[in-house]
Amino acid sequence: MYELMIDEWPEVGPDRPVMVIGLTGWMDGGHVSTGTLAYLRERLEAQNFAEIDPLDFYIFHFPVTSLPISVHLEDGRAVVQPVSPMEFAAVFRPHAKIEDGVVREIQYPENLFHIARTPAGMPDLVLFNGEEPHIRWGAYCDCIFSVCEQMKIEEIYFVGSVASPIPHTREPRLRVSLADESLKPKLAEAGLSFSDYEGPSSIITSLIYHSLELGIKTSSLVVEIPHYPFLEMPTYPRSIQKVTSALNDLLGLELDLTDLLEASREADSKLNALMETNEDFGELVAKLEETYEYEETPGDEALLRRLMESVDLDDDAGNQ
């Protein structure tokens, strides 16, 4: 399998390691997926031992056959503007650095495996963080399964997020999807509930589905994040804290998560301050609080759009 590049297979403890996966892309809102993996790598002092060669998994040249457009609100009206084809295509291309005519660097998507040692008596962790591939999902999954086979991994957790009609003033809910129903009692005992969903899927759903054939128990832990389109909120610490806490309990990591708790409080206090200065934002949050009580399905974009349309949001909200 030429795409899987191994530096050196790490030695592991007597127990079979557990793998945790985080990917950019479909389910990384609020940097929950990649942020959780970065946090675990740092706290557990994980060491890189392998990677997936990215060259055959991504579309670097996206063909633009017609001029793309963007739509935004201006003075209460929808404005349609053309987008430069070069700017659009540049999103897909690797970043290069050229100095005095010499190509010094080119940055491709990274897909890295790390090994992390855990408290005595607990299985080691294999942390895989990457970018969801555009193509060849089967081969990409096979690289992950190959690491599982070599290291005798029988348990995988994916962590991710979904934008939902919830306010930042309420606890984000965490739901699980899996293919092996025998995992349900353990996860339910940990206080987790289960997803109901039908629609477009990520590579993780494919990984879960096919891992059952290989005897690998794979679970996807997906936490809600608030979606305030008029605010720049690239990272949402509270949801990172939520999913990291779940892993901490499920895997017996014994991590002190005080730093995540403080980051969550700081982010929420800034949003609370905005509510006090922007009545429209406060009105939206109040309506989201009402819907939260009805346990609405995560990712209910239609409901979120209706709530957004019911509030006359102005441009001031994003400039506070």
pLDDT value at residue 295: 56
Provide the sign of the torsion angle of the four alpha carbons 259, 260, 261, 267, taken in this order.
Answer: positive
pLDDT value at residue 62: 73
Domain(s) of CATH 3.40.50.10900: residues in the chain = 4-58+109-319
Nearest to 130 by CA among 96, 158, 172: 158
Amino acid at 159: V
Which parts of the chain sit beneath pLDDT 50?
313-320
CATH topology of domain 4-58+109-319: Rossmann fold (3.40.50)
pLDDT value at residue 318: 44
CA distance 19 to 128: 7
Q: pLDDT digits over 138-177, tens only?
A: 999 999 999 999 999 999 999 999 888 888 999 999 999 9
pTM of the predicted model as reported, rounded to 2 decimal places: 0.84
What average pLDDT does the structure give for the chain? 85
pLDDT value at residue 13: 74
CA distance 131 to 112: 10
CA distance 27 to 221: 11
